[in-house]
């Protein structure tokens, strides 16, 4: 295996290059969207914002294309674990906020003490949607790893 070091280095370089392209694609798309909105402020033609949105989508799909189109894994197992733990913490915080705030909001809204803004319920339903997706994904992977 020690003799493979040159090809391993090449593979590593390729991986870093693909990661860079993937990041450039996503950030290029985000920059294009912001630039389009900035242009739209001084030149309020909706076509400008539509073009920015399309460029953003292209950047996003470009990133996905690079990540899934290459035979090299762009993330290693530690990076996957970091992402997984960060996701779990985010979900946990969302759960705590949802569990604490929802009954309180229902109580104050029902008693007329305070009119809860419709946007708040929108956020709560978004949380519910996320947890439904999480539940489905969890069940799927639980069955496939059992």
Partner 1 sequence: MKNDVRSYREERDLSQGDLAALVGVSRQTVNAIERDRYDPSLELAFKLAACFECSIEALFDPELES
Among 5, 42, 113, 146, binds partner 1 (CB under 8 A): 5
Q: Which two tokens stand for residue 112?
A: 């007329």
Residue 25 burial (CB count, 10 A): 20
79 binds partner 1, rule: CB under 8 A:
yes
CB closer to partner 1, 119 vs 145:
145
Binding positions for partner 1, 55-74, rule CB under 8 A: 73
Cα-only R_g, the chain? 22
23 binds partner 1 (CB under 8 A): no
Closest approach of partner 1 to the CB of residue 90, in Å: 21
Q: Give the integer Cα–Cα distance in Å for 89 and 85.
A: 6
**Contacts for 14 with CB less than 8 Å, ≥ 6 apart:** 72
Q: How far is the CB of 77 from partner 1 (least distance, A)?
A: 5
In terms of DSSP H, where are the helices of 43-145? 46-69, 77-111, 118-144
Size of interface with partner 1, in residues (CB under 8 A): 14
Q: Which is nearer to partner 1, 77 or 115 (CB)?
A: 77
Shortest reach from residue 92's CB to partner 1, in Å: 21
| C-alpha triplet 136, 118, 99: angle, nearest 5° | 45
Binding site for partner 1 (CB under 8 A): 1-2, 4-5, 8-9, 11-12, 73, 76-79, 81
């Amino acid at each position: 295996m020690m003799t493979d070091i040159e090809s391993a280095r090449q593979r590593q370089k390729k991986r870093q290059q693909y990661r860079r392209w993937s990041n450039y694609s996503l950030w290029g798309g985000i920059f294009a969207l912001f630039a389009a909105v900035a242009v739209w402020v001084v030149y309020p033609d909706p076509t400008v914002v539509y073009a920015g949105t399309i460029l953003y989508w292209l950047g996003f799909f470009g990133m996905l294309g690079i990540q899934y189109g290459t035979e090299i894994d762009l993330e290693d197992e530690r990076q996957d674990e970091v992402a997984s733990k960060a996701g779990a913490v985010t979900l946990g915080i969302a759960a705590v906020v949802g569990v604490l705030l929802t009954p309180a909001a229902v109580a104050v809204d029902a008693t007329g003490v305070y009119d809860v803004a419709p946007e708040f319920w929108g956020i709560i339903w978004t949380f519910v949607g996320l947890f439904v997706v999480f539940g489905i994904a969890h069940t799927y992977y639980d069955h496939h790893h059992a």
